[in-house]
């Protein structure tokens, strides 16, 4: 199962961690894994490369984490991470055995 955890502070997204494997289909044919991977990569690249925010990005074998810098109040970063949260939440509705989305404040 893919687990996506989002952290908010003062009502704004500050970080996310996505880990695991969907297990929906065989490797190379797993549409849930492909959708999540693509959305997470897009978000991380948009925050760091397009919006130019010096976010901390950590990538391991089956885990990616993005943390905005302390004091970051970028509306662009907030919108991008909120869009990822929405996208993954909608995927979780359709594939609830393959993905779980959690939020903490």
Question: In Å, how far are 63, 68, 92, 105 from 37, measured between CA atoms?
Answer: 10, 19, 14, 24
Residues involved in catalysis? 21, 33
Nearest to 37 by CA among 98, 102, 105: 98
């Amino acid at each position: 199962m893919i687990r996506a955890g989002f952290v908010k502070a003062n009502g704004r997204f500050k970080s996310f961690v996505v880990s695991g494997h969907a297990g929906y289909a065989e490797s190379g044919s797993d549409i849930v894994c492909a959708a999540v991977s693509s959305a997470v990569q897009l978000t991380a690249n948009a925050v760091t490369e397009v919006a130019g925010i010096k976010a901390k990005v950590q990538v391991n074998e089956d885990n990616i984490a993005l943390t905005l810098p302390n004091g970051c109040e970028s509306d662009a970063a907030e919108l991008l991470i909120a869009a990822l949260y929405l996208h993954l939440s909608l995927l979780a509705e359709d594939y609830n055995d393959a993905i779980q989305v959690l939020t903490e404040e």
